[in-house]
Amino acid sequence: MPSFMPLSTRYKKPFSNENETLVVQFSVKHKQGIHCGGGFVKLFPDTLNQEDMHSESEYYIMFGPDICGFGNNKVQVIPHYQGRYHENNKTIKPRINKDTHLYTLIIRPDATYEVKIDNQQVAAGDLEDDWDFLPPRKIKAPYTRKPRKWDERLQTEDPEDKKPEFF
């Protein structure tokens, strides 16, 4: 059985979801059950050569269930941003059985997202919080130390401070 079975279609013209909500929705049914594999949808750039499409072809978004063994099962939501693929920091559990399941990814212009399985929300949040698109807000500096004379007090008094005359 092949490990990669691509199926693709090309839109008549490329689309943009700039300032629009993007909804990716599809159904998956694993008739024989599944022990290790996936049921993904990938949105490719319009430069994709469909005759030469393979598992390493560049994509914009990969979305769908990734099932491998008992403990490594998750719904992948992997966008391509600034030359890198970014995996979600949350673990979203897929439905693992022989039933048909409807997977929905919603990405809104306000940089929020939602993942639904069978029309039930299973994950939601802010893109910047749940993916490592941006560098950390605090720079990790493990060798940095406080100066020896660091003042730990939360507040200090100013001996030259005086109340205004109108008090």
Q: In this structure, what token pair is assigned to residue 27?
A: 């159904």
pLDDT digits (tens, 9 = 90+) for 31-54: 766 667 778 888 888 888 888 888
Could you give all domains of the chain from N- to C-terminal order, each with its CATH number?
A: 22-130 (2.60.120.200)
More confident residue, 81 or 67: 81
Does residue 167 register a pLDDT over 70? yes
Q: In this structure, what token pair is assigned to residue 110?
A: 């306000």
More confident residue, 54 or 4: 54
pLDDT of residue 114: 97
Pairing of strands 100-107, 22-29: antiparallel
**Model-level pTM?**
0.74
pLDDT of residue 153: 83
DSSP, collapsed to helix, strand or coil, labels residue 78 as strand
Query: What does R_g of the chain's alpha carbons equal in angstroms?
Result: 24
More confident residue, 97 or 76: 76
pLDDT of residue 2: 47
pLDDT of residue 110: 96
Beta carbons within 8 Å of 1's beta carbon, 6+ residues apart:
none
Does residue 1 register a pLDDT over 50? no
- For a pLDDT cut of 90, what percent of the chain falls above it? 29
pLDDT digits (tens, 9 = 90+) for 87-127: 888 889 888 778 889 999 999 999 999 999 999 999 999 99
